[in-house]
Amino acid sequence: MIVKDHNELFNDTAYVEQFERKREFENPPPAGDVQKTAQWSASAEYMEKNFKREALVINPAKACQPLGAMLCALGFENTLNFVQGSQGCVSYFRSHLSRHFKEPVAAVSSSMTEDSAVFGGVNNMLEGLENAYTLYKPGMIAVSTTCMAEVIGDDLNSFIKTAVEKGIVPQTLDIPFAHTPSFVGSHITGYDNMMKGILSGVKAGGKAAPSNSINIIPGFDTYTGNYVELKRLMNLMGVNATVLADISGTLDSPNTGRYQLYTGGTPLSALKDSINALSTVALQKYSTVKTGEFIKTVWGKDFQIAPVPIGIENTDEFLDMVTAVTGKPVSSEIENERGRAVDAMIDSHPYVHGKRFALVGDPDLLMGLLSFILEMGGRPVHILCTNGDAAFVKDAEALLSRSQFGKDSTVHVGKDMWHLRSLLFAEPVDLLIGNSYAKSLWRDTNTPLLRIGFPLFDRHHLHRYPIIGYQGAINLTNWIVNTLLDEMDRKAMFTQSFDVIR
């Protein structure tokens, strides 16, 4: 039986005519006005007005703090996310993460309502901790906040203390917390706050003799494949590394016919021992600001920021950093992988060289992608970072200025994807890199889209493939060159240039 669903059904005459009849009641703008306005929205005049916006934000590429906090806590063994505040937020976070990872995501809310707005959220937290502890038997509860709890000034520290004093939860249970107001920063800030909250909030075994291990903090990284790749690289080098926080087991768990609330995650014992590591290496800068400060000042331990290991040079530098800290050299197997990645990039370079790119995403991801694109001879033109700051502009511009391929670039921070729409009309590019929401730009400006970033809702499994390390460089090369070739073929389909060998 041939079944027509929404993809085809509404092209049928019966529906085309129905839509026409409906217009009688819609009071739509005259058809000419729609076309005229659409054209005007692509003009230089519109772009000028668009960039003069001061208060209105349209299609921003950022989420809010507690989402990042939740991602961070999901990377620890037997850990339950507990969000103090309104319950709708938690449903949103869970949906958002599930749509990207195609995995179940658990979290509880303290379900605060009007009365909590008046009396504060302490009772919600006390009852919430009791219920959550009894029902979900977590090894750790990570508490973050929605803006409701922040606006009314809930004091997590004292609430949790009260819960312990009243015997609602055992004294031995770790309940780290982070204040994560949605009106400050973005999801990467929330990640940072929660990481710091967890490192400072767990009852560590105390400082002991330095272990021979290192800590690696990937940052707000939604590629489960990256975590697997990172651990593989460290294994190959014989490095004893604790990944803080490892979401790969939590958000890519095997199907065994049984659903488990807790799977994977950094073992709590390793978390507690992380204070004794030789050094902590962060793979992102902007999502580890406070965490780094904490490790340096409170722990008094070494903290280094590696360049995001995306592309060859950044990966080289990261691995060298690991060698410098641990004394373990890069293995010959990794060296071979490097050779293969470089070989792949050289093979594909003619289709990438000189191509113009637009990129939108989180600051750390952008730094890595820019570095890779420059290595291939691509020209980044528009770089847009809604949640970037002045430090990011400086870093990105420094990176771009080191390459002749970076001289056409402009870095936009605090701007949104509606700004990028104007930029793409004004100065078209060959390839746009962004998350699934960038598909509206693909449609409006006819710019081919490569989906890299977060969230990726409309394509499956991309997050399983690493974009870091030399394997990641091969994946990026594959995606970039083949997207460009697909586009080239689409355009050449009915010309002499529709070649079978590329």
Provide the annotated active-site residues.
147, 151
401 is a contact residue toward another protein (CB under 8 A):
no
- Where in 454-473 is the site for another protein (CB under 8 A)? 457
Interacting residues with another protein between 181 and 200 (CB under 8 A): 181-184, 186
Strand ranges (E), 309-423? 356-360, 379-385, 410-413
Choice between 110 and 274, CB closer to another protein: 110
Q: Quick one: which H or E segment has residue 214?
A: strand 214-217
* Region of 20-28, 289-297, 346-354, 394-402 interacting with another protein (CB under 8 A): 20-28
CA distances from 226 to 120, 246, 459, 460 (A): 41, 10, 18, 16
Residue with tokens 């005459």: 13
Please name the amino acid found at residue 49: K
Burial string for 214-247 (b: 16+ CB within 10 Å, else e) reads: bbbbbbbbbbbbbbbbbbbbbeebebbbbbbbbb
Site for another protein in 21-40 (CB under 8 A): 21-22, 25-29, 33-34, 37-38
Instruction: Tell me the closest approach of the beta carbon of residue 438 to another protein, in angstroms.
Output: 12
To the nearest 10°, the Cα dihedral for 65, 70, 72, 78? 160
Q: In this complex, which beta carbon is closest to another protein, that of residue 50 or of residue 276?
A: 50
For another protein, give the closer residue by CB, 152 or 268.
152
Backbone angles phi, psi at 282, to 5 degrees: -100, 140
In the complex, least distance from residue 479 CB atom to another protein, rounded to whole angstroms: 23
Is 327 a binding residue for another protein by CB under 8 A? The answer is no
Q: Determine which residue in the list 43, 48, 51, 91 makes contact with another protein, applying CB under 8 A.
A: 91
Sign of dihedral through CA atoms 442, 448, 451, 453?
A: negative
- How long, in residues, is the chain? 502
CB 250 within 8 A of CB 263: yes
Gap between the Cα atoms of 63 and 324, Å rounded: 36
Footprint of another protein on 210-249 (CB under 8 A) = none
Residue 15 or 498: the one with the smaller Cβ distance to another protein is 15
Under the criterion CB under 8 A, does residue 258 sit at the interface with another protein? Answer: yes
- The residues in 92-121 that bind another protein, with binding defined as CB under 8 A, are 92-96, 98-99, 102-114, 116-117
45 near another protein, judged by CB under 8 A = no
Task: Please report, as residue ranges, which positions from 286 to 325 form the binding site for another protein (by CB under 8 A).
Answer: none
Q: Tell me how far, at minimum, the Cβ of 196 lies from another protein, in Å.
A: 19
CB-based contacts of 168, cutoff 8 Å, min separation 6: 126, 129, 130, 133
Task: Tell me how many residues contact another protein (CB under 8 A).
Answer: 103
Contacting residue, 167, 170, 257, 300, with another protein by CB under 8 A: 257
Q: Which of 410, 416, 386 is nearest to 396 (CA)?
A: 410
162 near another protein (CB under 8 A): no
| Distance of closest approach, residue 271 Cβ to another protein, in angstroms | 23
Cα(216)–Cα(78) distance, rounded to whole angstroms?
Answer: 20
